[in-house]
Amino acid sequence: MTKYDNLDPRRALEQTITADLKSGFEKRGLMVRHNGSLDAPAKGGFSDIDVWNDNFHINVEATKLTKTAADHEYPAIEEHLTKNKTFFGKNTFVLYVSPETPRRIIHLVKVHNRANSQKQDMKILPLSFSNFELIINALASTHKDLHPIEEIIGLFDSYEKFDGDIEILKVIQEKLFPSDNQLKETISKKEDEKHQETVHNLVEGLETLAQDLRKKRIATSTNAIRNVIYLVFMKLFEEKQEHDEGQENRFTKEGFLNFQRANHQEKTKKAIHLLFKQITQNKDLEEAQMFDATDKLANRLNDDFGLKYFIEPFEEYQFYKEKIDGLGAAYEVLGKLSGKDVIVGQFLTPENVVRFMVKLAELDPENVILDPACGTARYLIKSMENMVNKVQDRPDKKTKENKIKKTQLFGDDHDTQVAKLAKMNMYIHGDGKTNILDQDGLMLSQFDDKIDVILTNPPLGDLSYTMEEYDSPKDEYRLKRMVTIPRKNLTVEKLELARKKLADYQVRLGRATELGNQKEIKKFNAKSKEWQDRIGELEYKIRSGDIEYKITGSEMKGGSLFLTASKYYLKSARNPDEKIEWRGGKLLIILDEGILNDTRYKPVRDFLKKYFYIKAIISLTRDTFIPVSKTSTKTSILYAIKKEDAKAVQQEPIFYAHASKVGVDTRRRVIDNDLDNEAGDSILKRFFDFKQRIHASYIGERFSKTEFERSGFIEGKLQRGAL
């Protein structure tokens, strides 16, 4: 709530804003004039308030109108700007002050500012009441030498970032208050709150859209959600083209109607199909084989439906600019409508958890990353952003960015449609779409010993590990690699049977000998010799490792299967210059906690300890997945590093932590985040503190427990500030 929210728009709003402008600007040598009276607003044809000096003229336009009601205000804003520029001949600007800036006004302002990009002035800056109050209070409460007028005018230079009130607040903070950490934190929280609210509304909106497609018999069941995904991608594609290439967005109401008229589809109402076809034939998308002949909008989906049920209601969302995972939201709807919430890992990982794990991994720009159960590719997208950000100051920046996107990011999802969704998402978020596969993520032998870092959240809950036939060649290959899958040792069983057979024939031989039955003696001698030879063969097979197995059961927790597979994909020596226990490939994986404590999964834990150094186990609150699932799931993040030598015993201690809050509650409201926060006591900070002490405790190549304890490790806890 600001001081302006409850003011009468005719008698008090402009008058109060004028008084506040005087308190901030007049001491900096500017004049302020309200073009109305004490009890009436400014007259038509004039800006509401003028602020000027010898060099600058600022029109201040104030309103309490919001949403579509504010649309009719805009033409007057441009008219006053042009009029005052002509009349005064100075560098002229506009401050548009309103309760919150409507999306439509943001769009019009952006178009106007871009049209005047070659000019030093003629820019419009929209300010919400709260953003205006922040600036004016700072000007009123500081000395005139602080925040000179040139600094305020400098805000207009960032017009490309005027994408919404929060984005404009970030510009204000960066330009006027760069050292205000509290404001930074406030902005971050506002961004999170807005994001969570938007995602919540978006998921609900897309779910309704899918239902409307079915109710109106345009598409049925699975095809309905496929059409939702296509529509979301079309919107994202057009927003990306608008932002990156400056092209008209053909998926706004205005842009779509222009496209419809230009292609003479007013009567047929099939422009939406034509647009989808043109998008799918984009060169980049064709090269990635993102779409095929089966990718079509439902035949009965026409322009009227597209406009009424998608383009217009979703126009308020700017998926691309606001970094909203629109395809992830569609994926969440897919999960809800397909009734797969119980295996929520197959759908979404909360973004805070993804960001935390990517930071925890300490990615190097040279790393090759794999997510063998990638879903919508959130881990790959965040990894791509993380690595690209780290090469911004390099002279070969562009070359390196392209290399990261085209050769260092790999994802796989066994579901062809989901893999396609991941490609779409990677493309929208900056490419990297080339290496998304739709194979069995447990059997990616092409990656053996080639991956630096695996970041993944495989399906939680039970997952089938069997093929159609137990004795198929693929299943035999799987058995050899997936050593934790329950199995019978058929060779040992056959050996035990052979020994029983031998014993039986030897008993019979003894009886025949007592009776002097030469025929029986000869027969049972031959049988005994046959089974002795068989036993010898089986014992040799066991000694040589040539053992025959048979799968038992059919399901295990998905995390245990992907953990086992990861051992093969990761490099044994990722960085030979690191400390011994940090040299191998890194695995960061979300696991059902049953894998870490259930007696049935002891073979998996034994496998983990044999082939990996365990660096951290971070337990997540049971509520972590509720925002994207109807069920609570107890999970942990495991951070492990592959061993070079499976016989080596881990010397370093393991970091344990519990995150009781992960930044979002069960209703998507923003709360504290134990994983990563600005307060300095986050799990991320404490892990890096722990790791620093570990590295400082080495004497040569050997870890010293004594040195580590001296660094402040007491009774299982790190003392604060004890370094």
pLDDT tens digits, one per residue of 487-530: 788 888 899 999 999 999 999 989 989 988 999 999 989 999 99
Mean pLDDT of 284-296: 88
Q: What is the mean pLDDT of residues 290-318?
A: 91
Which helix (H) or strand (E) segment holds residue 638: the answer is: strand 635-642
Q: What is the pLDDT of residues 221-255, one digit of tens each?
A: 778 888 998 999 999 999 989 888 888 899 999 99
Report the distance separating Cα 587 and Cα 563, nearest Å. 8
Find the DSSP H helices in 271-394: 271-280, 283-287, 303-306, 326-337, 351-361, 378-389
Query: Residue 473 — pLDDT band, cuts 50, 70, 90?
Result: low
The full DSSP string for 617-649 is EEEE-TTTTGGG-SS---EEEEEEEE-S-TTPP
What pLDDT is stored for residue 679 in this prediction?
Answer: 64
Radius of gyration of the chain from its Cα atoms, rounded to whole angstroms: 33
pLDDT of the residue at 60:
97
We find that the CATH architecture of domain 13-179 is 3-Layer(aba) Sandwich (3.40)
CA dist 277 and 523 (Å) reads: 80
Q: Which has the closest alpha carbon to 448: 596, 570, 353, 593?
A: 570
- d(Cα 593, Cα 72) in Å, to the nearest integer? 57
Place of tokens 């056959």: 494
* Across 704-715, average pLDDT: 80
The tokens 């000007």 sit on which residue? Answer: 139
The answer to whether the CB of 378 falls within 8 A of the CB of 348 is yes
In terms of Cα–Cα distance, which of 652, 657, 581, 637 is closest to 612? 581
pTM, 2 dp: 0.77
Do 607 and 617 contact (CB within 8 A), yes or no? Answer: no
Site of tokens 């699932």 = 629
Q: Single out the residue of 62, 61, 11 nearest to residue 40, CA to CA.
A: 11
What Å distances lie between residue 159 and 123, 405, 453, CA to CA? 7, 29, 39
Alpha helices in 177-220 (DSSP H): 181-215
Q: With contact defined as beta carbons under 8 Å apart, do 559 and 589 qualify?
A: yes
Query: pLDDT at residue 336 above 70?
Result: no
Nearest Cα to Cα of residue 457 among 538, 349, 548? 349
For the chain, percent helix, then strand, then coil, each to nearest 5? 50, 15, 35
Strands across the sheet containing 436-437: 436-437, 409-412, 369-371, 453-456, 586-592, 635-642, 612-620, 655-659
Q: Which of 19, 628, 532 is nearest to 329 (CA)?
A: 628
Q: Rounded to an integer, what distance in angstroms lies between the CA atom of residue 270 and that of residue 209? A: 19
Q: What is the predicted pLDDT for the residue at 260?
A: 96
Q: Among 26-30, 216-220, 300-304, which stretch is predicted with the lowest mean pLDDT?
A: 216-220
CA 494, CA 498: separation in Å to the nearest integer?
6
Convert the pLDDT of each residue in 424-461 to its tens digit: 888 888 877 879 999 989 989 999 999 999 999 998 87
The fraction of the chain above a pLDDT of 90, given in percent, is: 60
pLDDT of 717: 55
Instruction: Give per-residue pLDDT as tens, 405-416.
Output: 999 999 999 888
Let me know: does 147 contact 175? Beta carbons within 8 Å.
no
Please say if the pLDDT value at position 197 is more than 90.
no
Burial of residue 519 (CB within 10 Å: 0-12, 13-18, 19+) is exposed
Query: How large is the average pLDDT for residues 1-24?
Result: 95
**How, if at all, do strands 662-664 and 670-673 pair?**
antiparallel
Residue 143, pLDDT > 80, answer: yes
Secondary structure of residue 570 in the 3-state scheme: strand
686 CB-side CA count, 13 A: 23
Average pLDDT over residues 674-678: 85
> Taking the CB of residue 313, how many other CB atoms lie within 10 A of it?
13
Q: Among candidates 138, 183, 158, 154, which has minimal Cα distance to 25?
A: 138
Distance CA 30, CA 278 (A): 53
Does 329 or 592 have the greater pLDDT score? 592
Please tell me the distance from the alpha carbon of residue 319 to that of residue 688, in angstroms, as a whole number. 34
Q: At what angle do helices 74-88 and 103-115 cross, to 10 degrees?
A: 30
Which amino acid is it at 132? F
Q: Which helix (H) or strand (E) holds 412?
A: strand 409-412
Instruction: Identify the residue with better confidence: 245 or 98.
Output: 98
DSSP string, 520-566: HHHHHHHHHHHHHHHHHHHHHHHHHT---EEE-SSEEEHHHHHHHHH
Average pLDDT over residues 169-197: 85
Reported as a pLDDT band with limits 50, 70 and 90, residue 345 is very low
pLDDT of 532: 93
What confidence score (pLDDT) does residue 481 get?
Answer: 84
Q: Is the dihedral of CA 627, 600, 581, 369 positive or negative?
A: negative
The rounded mean pLDDT for the chain is: 88
